[in-house]
Homo-oligomer: A and B are copies of this chain.
Amino acid sequence: MNNFKFCVPTDIRFGKDAIECLPEELEKYGKKVLLVYGGGSIKKTGLYDKVYSLLKDFEIYELPGIEPNPKLTSVEKGAQICKKENIDVILSVGGGSCIDASKHIACAAYYDGEPWDLVLDRSKVEKALPIAVVLTICATGSEMNSGAVISNEATHEKLEINSPLLYPALSICDPTYLYTLPKRQTAAGTADIISHVLEQYFQPNDGAFVTDRLSEGILKTCFKYGPVAMKESDNYEARSNLMWASTVALNHLLTVGKGGAWTVHPIEHELSAFYDITHGDGLAILTPAWMEYVLCDKTVDRFAMYAENVWDIAGDDKYEVAKKGIQATADFFKEMELPATLREVGIDSDKFEEMAEEAVRTSGVSTRAYFPLDKDDIVKIFEMCK
């Protein structure tokens, strides 16, 4: 078990009607609120009106229109409002993109230079506004961690900002807000949660037994309730279990004692960057192919363990057990109506080389991953997904 630091101070309020605490909690920080949200679905669902009725004694400024991959230009706009209006607290109502933008705004509000500097040099993050979250999509775990991914359109970069100052102070997680999610978002979100856990599970350190067992618990939860949420959009048990699984999947608990670079996420980021496909779709396509590609004497024990502990697959031949676990994973994504090939999302082989090169260049996939992959390996995985 590697040494680790674990300090996750976010105050989670989980459950139906948890939002009722909002005025009392926000008041701790002040009366001037920057409301950050996305494309307006919160107006259709009534959540926008609910927020205004709860915060009738507050002074609310708005930053609507946060994009699915939040852009630096939005962050700049938000930071300007915070500075000009002396905002006390940011209220982020939405999913991961909205929260990520809010995190960057929170520290940019106290920074005199260009907000992008804070992404390039984390040591410049010295102070941040408090952030409160009302979560409407479960996938990224941003509601209980300190990271955010921001896209700079001018430089074509998509990078992470991270600082202990960026943990949301408060996150309201009401599973009933997930009832109105389109099936495609439920599916893609679940694929993202699963991939977060797998990235951490398939990291080298067999001594972190306890962490692996907790990871398996989160995986079982996703595999059980993903299909239920697809079929019964308003199943509270399914939505609540998935929502909490999603938070725990990326609040550092599943990485303690372990370490190393992620694999499938950085490869998928290239698919999304070059073709603007849905992140969860890309993960569902790549994950089984990656598993198959790296299965070998060095990895088979862990893949067999995954199959046994998560999928209850038994057998004497560990390769056979491992392969059945990989097949079960692929079958699950199909059951979730997620794509299984690049063709299905309109990607041909034209940019395989270029994307593979970028994945190697911008991540630790070739150096610090569970099973390091070079450019040729990644091209081969793309080929498997055609």
Contact = CB atoms under 8 A, between A and B. Distances in A.
A158 interface: no
Given A209-B221, A213-B221, A237 B1 contact: yes
Given A209-B241, A237-B207, A237-B209, A9 B12 contact: no
A5 B13 contact: yes
Given A1-B241, A256-B14, A213 B220 contact: yes
Interface string A170-183: 00000100000000
A257 interface: yes
Given A213-B218, A244-B210, A244-B256, A7 B1 contact: no
A346 to B, nearest CB: 35
Interface string A194-225: 00000000000001111101101110110011
A343 interface: no
Contact of A14 (B5, B214, B241, B248): B5
Contacts of A240: 1, 207, 257
Contacts of A6: 11-12, 14
Interface residues of A, number: 43
Given A216-B217, A217-B216, A256-B14, A245 B210 contact: yes
A278 interface: no
Nearest to A144: B6
A73 interface: no
Contacts of A241: 1, 207-210
B224 A218 contact: no
Interface string A1-32: 11111111111111111100000000000000
Contacts of A256: 14, 244
Contacts of A7: 9-12
Given A3-B14, A207-B240, A213-B220, 6 more contacts: A1-B241, A4-B12, A6-B11, A207-B241, A210-B244, A214-B214
Interface of A: 1-18, 175, 207-211, 213-214, 216-218, 220-221, 224-225, 236-237, 240-241, 244-245, 248, 253, 256-257
Task: Give the 10 A-B CB pairs with smallest separation, nearest first.
Answer: A3-B15, A213-B217, A9-B9, A7-B11, A1-B240, A6-B12, A210-B221, A207-B237, A214-B217, A210-B241
27 contacts: A1-B15, A1-B236, A1-B237, A1-B244, A2-B15, A3-B13, A3-B15, A3-B16, A3-B18, A5-B12, A5-B13, A5-B14, A8-B8, A9-B9, A207-B236, A209-B224, A209-B237, A209-B241, A210-B221, A210-B245, A210-B248, A213-B221, A214-B218, A216-B217, A217-B217, A248-B253, A253-B253
